[in-house]
Structures are given as structure tokens and as C-alpha cells.
Amino acid sequence: MTWWLLTFSRGGPASYLSHLDTARAVQRTFARAGVPIALSQGMRPKPRLSLPLPLPVGAAGYEELAVVEVPDGPPSPAAALRELRAAAPPGLRPLAIVVVGDQHPRPQALEARYACRLEGDAGAVRAAVERYATEVSVVRERVSPKGRRTLDLKEYVVHVAAEPVLGGTRLSFAIRYRDDGAARPQEFIDLIAAWAEVEPVMRGLERRRVIWRDLPPGPSPGAGRSVSS
Amino acid sequence: MYEIGISNPGLQILYAYLNDATPAAAERAYCPWPDMAALMRAYDVPLWTLETIDPVAGCDLWGFTLPHELTYTNVLEMLDLAGVPIHAAERGEGQPIVLGGGPAVADPWPLAPFFEAFFMGEVEHRLDEIVEALAAPSRALRLQALAAVPGMWLPGVSERPAQRQVFTAFSRTPPVLRPVVPVLEAVHDRAIVEVMRGCTAGCRFCQAGMWYRPVRERPVDLVVEAAERLLAETGCDEVSLLSLSSCDYSGIEEALTRIRALRPGVRVSLPSLRIDSAAEALGGFAADQRGSVTLAPEAGTQELRDAINKGVDDAQFEEAVRATFGGGFTGLKLYFMIGLPGETDADVAGIARMAATAVRLAKEIGRGRARLSVAVSSYVPKAHTPFQLEPFAGAAVLRHRQQLLRDAMPRHVRINFHDVAASLVEATLARGGPGSDRLVEEAWRRGARFDGWSEHFHFATWEGAAAATGIELGAAELRSDETLPWESAVDAVVTRGFLADEQARASRGELTDDCRDGSCAACGVCGSGVEMDVLP
Ligand code: SF4
């Protein structure tokens, strides 16, 4: 059995898809392209395809990853990529395929770089970013159906920068993924917006780059940016 | 609500034909959920089309598909969100002509003042004429040209009822081959091939069975080719062979066999199963498709089933239940109605008895833990059916019978009821006459939207609207010796005499045969170019 690591971008209308709908759109793209995906065992076999790092609804992703198991005797990755590009819906663009054996460890996200635009007083946003840099810890509570948990944003959100742009501030930051989870982009944006007293409304959230553990080098935009354990 | 709207196969037919075969450009807009509507109003954003993000108010013709009565307030909501005056009389040059279609136009009166025109019946073969009418240089001339299109009824303008249109070329025309494929999960997330139009089983409560007569079937070759192409081009892994009663489609077995042979592993779904042939049909399902089965006996006793012309007997029901549990299906859902004409408490107790039979059979087969549920809706008499003159059972009777069922239902059987209050509103609008529009408008002004969704349906709003307009909910004063309100708008072609005869047969408990088997019941539909068109 072979695994394909497909990198793709998501933007335009596809930015508004949920994680599950993005996975379905990728799977349907394979079906339309005539590129088979291996099926799971059991009463209701499911295509073996996963997107290891969900992208928030509304966000564009420059370099997303899908891990796909293909059955024996798959088409050549180059030919498959051509067909996938032709079959992809608006906003979804397959970029590259790296082939790995079934013994290869599944890639794990280490860090993702985000950028967005916050409207309102740019000076106040810059001050909030400077304050974040000087704080030792910024503990926030997360309430979810699973319960409450606290997390220290300083452990997860790094490389924060603010730059004035027309009508607001371009905020860029990186989120680190650890074994115990990660912060969500919105949690950090809410914090900065609250400190800067601007509306916590972000525009144009983008995930510009993801650093993966165990993404092998290949003809992918991720090549050279992956690290191996 | 895109997830629901995009699943409507009728809209896909219109969209494909208008864009592919006429000079018109058709775009779509759906009713936004109330939170979105509130934001649109707060930020002054008018309703837009999904294709070009242009304001809907700028189109030449705005067509609404009207599936049932509890969507009526959404029509006013959409017009208002678009900045289009809700009353046709207040619209002028540069504003869209608003056209209604779909099954609910069988009685257009509750919406009449909000629309310039209604199209009665199947529209495929009239779309060219409609588009041509829109080329006229002024709004008045466009309306005049539209009025001349057969099937079109213009409230306050048309002097005669419009004749319901039948798409006689259905069998010779391929199904929609280039549908809009949603990227997010729709409620019906599958490729659709319409295999047959119309149904002549003759269930006396069923409006669709009367409205879409006669039966027309597509050749198996057309169906299989369409399924193959749609599966390849949409990427769906399931295809639905759609019709009002797909088990009655003459080519069903051949179509199922050929589609499964062409694409092994594909799931083929049939929207409904007939109890009398369910055992056979269930045997044809692949092992990985053995989920839950829905059977619709509709009524709890033989007498009442005969009265509604649902010719199913207890032996057939038991055979279907055995086939379900014996065949490894994971659950069984039984669908019934209460409030049918002539129904007694004893008929309702019969529903619980049938559920108990299913429980017993499941145990006998060793499937005592299988899921069994019973869904019970409240019957609402509809226009153009044999029961069109029957009174609505009323809230008190329906609530009493729901309680009877709750008490009598075997343990472990899940039971779901329709909200009686929503049925009361539906019953009022389903046979509303001139003036019933005031109820719709008043309810909308008081905040009614998405009335088909229990979380948005507020009976107090409708009660308030009824009190303000003096319209009694659930009442329909109709006389058999007078023209019925909907008869002044639409000639459904099924004759009043046939409907009256069927009503009389119902009261005597007499069955009427399915006319596809050769015994024409003279309903009035066939003749002058319209014929039943079934596979040899
Ligand atoms: S006219 Fe006769 S054959 Fe035609 S639909 Fe009516 S009952 Fe059936």
C-alpha cells in the first residue's frame, strides 16, 4: 500500500468550507479525477483520506496537507496531479504529491504561520502586541462541550508582529503544536483585540506556511521546509 | 438555507435548462437563516445571488419554488431582504416579475397578492416561451406575454383558471446531466436520476399522486447512462433513483443491476419502498447498504387503509418486516398518519398493534434489539385530492390520538409526532381562499419565518395573526356544489367528478386499482396529447 501526501491550497470561496467539507471536497476531487483512494474495511467502507491539520472556517491556506492511501497500481503522481487540478472545485488547487511507503510515519504539524488584518486603531494594536511580548504568561480559559481548560497562550503563540496597513493592522503570528494541543488563531486574535479595544473581527485570515515533522522532501512547496525526526 | 435548497431536484432542472438551452442567465438565491438575515438588515446588505453576487432585486424574473405551506413566510422574508416590495401591486418598471411554481401552487391564494404570476404544473417545455416573454420592452408587455404562456395564472388578471401543464416529452428527455454540485454537505448528498414522473397508485390523501399524473417512465438506457455520467462527473458515491414511487418504475430491477455492474461498490438509493413489494426489493440491496428501512403503512387498520386506497394487507406488512430484520437491516421506521377522514380511536390503536407485531417478529427472528421507530404525522386535507372537501381533524382530536398512541405503544419503540400546531397552520393555508394571504403577511410581520423548523415555529405568532385578521385556524368552509377557491386559479385536469367518486368509494372502503395495470379510472388526465407512458 502507498500513501500520497498531497499539498493543496484553499482560498476564494473554498475558504468558507468547514474541515469536514474540505475533506469531502478533496475526496470528491479524487473521484472526479478518476484517481482511486483505498477504502477502509468494515460494513461501510470509507475512503482513507485525512487532513491532519484543520483549517479554520473563513481562512485561506497556502500549503495544506492531505494524507491519502492509494490502492496498489496507482497512476503516476504527475498524471494524477494533472487530473486532480482539472477536477478540483473553485478555490481548491492541488499543488504537489509526495509518495511515501506505508511504513512512513504520518506527518505531524509543528508550527503554522498565520496572518490576518484587524481593523481599528493601529497604534493600539501595536501596543497590544508589544505588551504580549513582555508578558511572561497569558492564561486563558477555553470552554467547550468537553469542559473547561486553561491554556497559556505564551506557550503556543510566537513570532508575533504588527504592521500598519490601509484601514488597520496586519497581524502575523505563529502557532506551535505540542502534544497537549495548541491555541486557536481566534483565541489569540480575541486577546489582542481586547487589549487594543478594537473589534475582534479579523479579515483575510491566512495560514501561510506549516512546518511538519516527517514530511519528506519532494517536489512539494513544503520541500526543504520539513524536518525529520 | 443552501444545504436544503440545493437538494431540490426541481430547481436543478430549471437551472440546467435555463442556462444551457436558453439565452437567459439563471442565478440562485436562498432564504438566509434568521441570524444572517438580522446581520444583513443591520448592515444594509440586500439579498444577493450566489453566482455573481448581484442584488436579486435587479433580475428580470424572480422564480420561487414553493414546496409546501410552511415556507410561505420565507417568500415575504426574501422579497423584503432583497428590497423588493412584497405586494405585486407596488412593484414597477425595473423591479423583478415574481413567479411562483412547485407543488404548493395547487392552491395559490394564500400567496396571490405577492406574486405577479404562478405557473401551474411541469414547466420544462414552457421555459423557452417564458424567456421569450421577458424580451418584451416593458414590464407591462412582459406580463402580457407571460399571461399568454399556457399554464400561467396571473392573480387579478387571468380570466380563466390555468391548465396544469404536463411535460409529455419526459420519457424522451435525459435527466439533468450537469447539476450544480455543492462543495459542502447537502441534506441529499448524492447524484439524482429522476426515473419516473407521476404516480397512479391512487392514494386518496396524496396531492402529488393527483397533481403529477399521468405516469411517465424513462427508458432504462437513459437512466443507466445518466447514473454513470453523474457518478463520474460529480464524484458522488451514491445515486438516487428518484420518483414518487421508484419501486413502481418498470425498469427498476434492470436499472439497479446494470448500475451496480457498471460501478461496483456504488450505493443506489430508492426514496421510498412499497410494502407489497418491499421483501423482494430489500433482497436486492448490497450488504453494505443495509441500514435502516422505512415503510409507510399510513394507517393502522385494514378498513382505514382501504379507505385511503393504500392497498396493503397485514400479511404483506409482516412479510416486509420479516425481510427487513431477516435481511440484516439495522433498523425499521414505520410511517403513519392520524386525523384521516373516517378515522376512529380504534384505527389509531391499530398503529400500536402494528408496531407490536413488528417487535414480536423482530424477536422471533432473533433481532429483538433492532431499532424500531414510528413517525406519526397529522393528516392535512389538500386541494385537488379526493379528500379536498373533508374537514381537518382539529387540534383537540389530534392531541387526543397522539396521547392514545403514547399510552398504547410498546416499550422500546421510539415514537415521533408532528407538531399539531404546525399542522393547524398548514391546514389553514393548504385550502386558503382569497384573503388568506392576510394571515401569511400578518404572521410574517409578527416575525414568523422558517415555520417548517420546530425551533423557529411559534404558534403564538400565528394565533396573534389569526386573531388580527379574523381568520380561524384550521377551518375551511367548502361546499361541494360551489367552485372551490383553487378551482378558480388552476384546472388540475383531474376532474371534480373523479375526485368526488373517489371520496365516495373511500367512505365505502372500496379500493381503486392502479391504472398502470390497465384499468383506467377515468380521472380525466389522459387524452388530447397527454398519455401514460410506461416501459413496454
Ligand atoms: S386517465 Fe386513466 S390512465 Fe390516465 S392517469 Fe387517469 S386513471 Fe390513469
User: Over 60: is that where the pLDDT of A225 sits?
Assistant: no
Assign B183 a pLDDT band (cuts: 50, 70, 90).
confident
SS (H, E, C) B402-448: HHHHHHHCCCCCEEEECCHHHHHHHHHHHCCCCCCHHHHHHHHHCCC
Mean pLDDT of chain B: 92
Per-residue pLDDT tens over the stretch A149-176: 899 999 999 999 999 998 889 999 999 9
Residues 71-100 of chain A with CB under 8 A from chain B are 87, 89
Helices (H), B96-191: 127-133, 139-147
Pocket of ligand 1 (CB under 6 A): B 200, 213-214, 515, 520-523, 525-526, 532
Q: How far apart are CA B4 and CA A144, in angstroms?
A: 28
Per-residue pLDDT tens over the stretch B140-175: 999 999 999 999 999 999 999 999 999 999 999 999
A12: left (phi over 0), alpha (psi -120 to 50) or beta: left
**Angle ∠(B354,B356,B359) on CA atoms, nearest 5:** 115
Per-residue pLDDT tens over the stretch B59-79: 999 999 999 999 999 999 999
The whole-number average pLDDT for the span B198-204 is 92
Question: For position B286, what pLDDT does the model report?
Answer: 61
Mean pLDDT of chain A: 89
Question: For position A6, what pLDDT does the model report?
Answer: 95
Question: What string of DSSP letters covers B262-277?
Answer: HSTT-EEE-S---HHH
Contact A32 B233 (CB under 8 A): yes
Q: How far apart are CA B493 and CA A80, in angstroms?
A: 55
Residue of chain A whose Cα is closest to the Cα of B330 = A43
Contact A32 B185 (CB under 8 A): no
* Burial (Cβ within 10 Å: 0-12, 13-18, ≥19) of residue B63: buried
Three-class SS state of B258: helix
How much of chain B is helix, strand and coil, in % rounded to 5? 45, 15, 45
Question: For position B289, what pLDDT does the model report?
Answer: 60
Per-residue pLDDT tens over the stretch B222-247: 999 999 999 999 999 889 999 998 88
In sequence order, the β-bridge partners of residue A138 are none
Cα B281 to chain centroid, rounded: 24
Segment among A191-195, B32-36, B177-181 with least mean pLDDT = B177-181
Residue of chain A whose Cα is closest to the Cα of B185 = A21
Q: Whose CA is nearest to atom 8 of ligand 1?
A: B515
Question: Within 13 A of B428's CA, how many CA atoms are on the CB side?
Answer: 25
Question: In chain B, what residues touch A24 (CB-CB under 8 Å)?
Answer: 183-185
* Burial (Cβ within 10 Å: 0-12, 13-18, ≥19) of residue A84: buried
Q: Cβ distance B357 to B318 under 8 Å?
A: yes
Report the residue from A25, A39, A45 with minimal CB separation from B183.
Answer: A25
Question: In chain B, what residues touch A21 (CB-CB under 8 Å)?
Answer: 183-185
Q: How far apart are CA B484 and CA B432, in angstroms?
A: 10
Q: Cβ distance B501 to B204 under 8 Å?
A: no
First to last CA, chain A: 23
Contact A20 B235 (CB under 8 A): no
Cα-to-centroid distance, B242 and ligand 1 (Å): 22
Which of B98, B116, B97, B104 is CA-nearest to residue B155? Answer: B116
Overall residue count recorded for chain B in this entry = 536
Q: Cβ distance B412 to B358 under 8 Å?
A: no
Assign A218 a pLDDT band (cuts: 50, 70, 90).
low
The one-letter amino acid at B508: R
pTM: 0.89
User: Over 80: is that where the pLDDT of A93 sits?
Assistant: yes
Percent of chain A with pLDDT over 70: 94
A31 touches chain B (CB under 8 A): yes
Q: How far apart are CA A198 and CA A188, in angstroms?
A: 13
Q: How far apart are CA B505 and CA B307, in angstroms?
A: 7
Best probe of the B interface among A15, A35, A40, A44, by most B CBs < 10 A, is A44
Per-residue pLDDT tens over the stretch B10-45: 999 999 999 999 999 999 999 999 999 999 999 999
For residue B208, give the C-alpha cell: 402529488
Residues 256-285 of chain B with CB under 8 A from chain A are 265
Report the residue from B185, B233, B290 with minimal CB separation from A21.
Answer: B185
Residue A6 host element (H or E) = strand A2-10
Residue B282: partners with Cβ closer than 8 Å, 6 or more residues away: B273, B293, B320, B323, B324, B327, B329
Q: Cβ distance B357 to B410 under 8 Å?
A: no
Q: Cβ distance A10 to A17 under 8 Å?
A: yes
Percent of chain B with pLDDT over 70: 98
User: Over 50: is that where the pLDDT of A222 sits?
Assistant: no
Contact A28 B185 (CB under 8 A): no
Q: How far apart are CA B247 and CA B396, in angstroms?
A: 37
Per-residue pLDDT tens over the stretch B388-443: 999 999 999 999 999 999 999 998 899 999 999 999 999 999 999 999 999 999 99
Assign B447 a pLDDT band (cuts: 50, 70, 90).
very high
For residue B431, give the C-alpha cell: 385550502
The one-letter amino acid at A158: V
Question: In chain A, what residues touch B288 (CB-CB under 8 Å)?
Answer: 43-45
Question: For position B290, what pLDDT does the model report?
Answer: 62
Residue of chain A whose Cα is closest to the Cα of B290 = A43
Segment among A88-92, A106-110, B527-531 with least mean pLDDT = B527-531
Per-residue pLDDT tens over the stretch B282-337: 766 665 566 678 889 999 999 999 999 998 899 999 998 988 888 777 788 999 99
Q: Cβ distance B65 to B30 under 8 Å?
A: no
